[in-house]
Amino acid sequence: MNENLKQQLEQLRQVLEHHNYRYYVLDDPEITDAEYDRLLRELIAIENQHPEWITPDSPSQRVGAPPLQVFASMQHTLPMLSLDNSLDEAEMREFNQRTRRLLDTTEEIEYLCEVKLDGLAVELIYEKGLLTIGATRGDGIYGEEITRNLKTIASIPLRLRTTAAAIPERLEVRGEAIMPLREFRRLNQSRLEEGEPPFANPRNAAAGSLRQLDSTITAGRRLDFYPYGIGVCSAPLPQTHNQLLQWFAILGFKTNPLAKICTGIEAVIAYHRDMMEQRDTLGYEIDGIVVKVNDLAKQERMGIRSRSPRWAIAYKFPAREEITRVENIIAQVGRTGVLTPVAVLDPVRIGGVTVSRSTLHNQDEVDRLDVRIGDWVVIQRAGDVIPKIVRVIRERRDGSEIPYILPDRCPACGSHTIQSPGEVAWRCVNLSCPAQLKERILHFASKGGMDIEGMGEKLIDQLVEKGVVQSIADLFFLEKNQLIELERMADKSAEKLLAAIAASRQRPLDRLLFALGIRFVGEHISRVLVDAMGNLDSIMQSSVEELLAIHEIGPQVADSVVTFFAQAENRQLIVRLKAGGVQFQSMEKKRGDKLAGKTFVVTGTLAHYSRQEIEQRIEELGGRAAASVSRKTDYVIVGENPGSKAEKARELGVPILSEEDLLNMIGEQRSGN
């Protein structure tokens, strides 16, 4: 019986993947949506009955999974490079001449041209044909691991479509996740009906959808994906970039039909003009074209700069501009307390999008533009995405325009704003400021902070929006009857949360100090301050000079700490935290002497310890864990995927140890992983 059911399950998976490929990749469906949904429900019913039969490549995995608390960071095997930009024909001809010089040829270069999709760059890692990991580009070196969310995109194959012999052991596919315009309009209409603000553009909508901790939300957003390049591949590659795209199609990916081989730069410029004419007829946003040397061997010869390849360039479309009037300028408070001036505009349509606001970034930018309330201004969607004031039309002034200066009090809570030395930004440092409260609570309750299990984003939203929590300290005065009135909060859940809050009262002082979210005070600096001062009262009462006397504390940190505790609102918060039973004394540590007088820096991923654990162990044995490498560093401990600190150690001649070397040094050998 079970064997027959399992065969039925396998047949359903094959049928669903076939129809999924026909619909989302070939755009040639063979069955109706209703029939597809019926088959999918049948599959999910069997998997619910036998969860042990669920596989990572099952079509059911596209519907989303239970929410995550946070995304993990992932290092790309090879950096995901950005592209240099060109804005006109002259710059493209310069690129072509540079390419010819690098390749030492007078012949016309064969380029592969593609439309520049306006979405989010991601990487997909396949092992033996199975999608195992997906991540955002991030900073090009590290991205966020968003596998669950990427699996919900129907045009991304969960398993590659080809024979086993042809599938590489490892294949890293890079491409663009986008939101089609039809879906963008549907999503914004839905958000407006629910009283939520619409997304500004499809790019933001795609990025926001892929960074949802709840992948069922992503699954409902109907994103699309087009591959454009490759990272590591364990199999031999084709000879050209165009053949690479054709190979992607064989593997089951949806490739963009507008890609075209252009011989010579004049053909590239003609392609650019053609795409600019077609852009408004496409079902997705593009903001230019990408031009690549087609021959992969020539790409290899040309090489890369630190952040961009020499063999490719983005040829952007001209930015779209309109003229409108500044009705007002307001101060907007961000999640870190920074006040940002925002121009409220007479709504104007630019490139099919209605623009009614434009950030002015900071007071320096307001002054540089000399933009005033009542001014007529030129608005540009830079890169076809971000609305930006590029120029004030001073000829239209009639004398009624009003200059703007950021307020000296926070518009959200009324606290005095401060500007740190050497900084442009003004910020509100009141921890209980309602504009910052949700993000501050999330940081306060995080693993590295007070580690309050169950204090997730959705719960925090409810606590703040219902007025139950108006400051971080209110967490320690919550009662069961307040919690059980919240959505999805039963008796047991409330009791569990209260127990987690009670446990957090005894966290070490350095964790509390980090949890307060003082600017420039991370986990390491928190430990340095607590080790030097011993208790919070001493830290609160310290002067800049006293803090600067502590090793590793510089002017930036010292000024930030003094400024933070000078705020009356923050001092009142500390009083409330004490009243709530939070531990404020440093836990006395027994310190050994095996590493006395030695300074260590840790970089990379270790097998037996987390970074925080190994640094604590070093300090327990009398050593000092530093954040950066200098000539005073005695040893650098290097794990897997080390950063620039290892290179710095080599440059300075600082001894490098493995984790095993350190364990041998302190007599704590371990076996296994």
- Told to judge if 116 belongs to the known catalytic residues of this protein, a careful annotator would answer yes
3-state DSSP call for residue 424?
Answer: coil
d(CA 180, CA 324): 28
- Torsion, Cα 270 272 274 276, to 10 degrees, reads -150
Contacts of 73 (CB under 8 A, 6+ apart): 138, 142, 143, 144, 145
d(CA 110, CA 240): 10
Give just the sign of the alpha carbon dihedral 26, 32, 33, 38: negative
Contact 271, 289 (CB under 8 A): yes
d(CA 121, CA 206): 10
Per the listing, tokens 């609305």 go with: 387
Phi-psi region of 619 (alpha: psi -120 to 50; beta: other; left: phi over 0): alpha
Catalytic residue among 6, 116, 598, 645: 116
Give just the sign of the alpha carbon dihedral 220, 222, 228, 234: positive
Residues paired with 635 in a beta bridge: 600
Measure the CA angle with vertex 233, ends 70 and 134; round to 5°: 15
Element housing 173 (H / E): strand 170-178
Other Cβ atoms less than 10 A from the Cβ of 616: the count is 17
Amino acid at 671: S
Contacts of 397 (CB under 8 A, 6+ apart): 375
Most distant CA pair in the chain, distance: 86
Contact 527, 507 (CB under 8 A): no
Contact 342, 360 (CB under 8 A): yes
DSSP string covering 605-656? B-SS--HHHHHHHHHHTT-EEESS--TT--EEEE-BS--HHHHHHHHHT--E
Residues paired with 373 in a beta bridge: 402
- DSSP annotation of 435 reads T
Residues with catalytic roles: 116
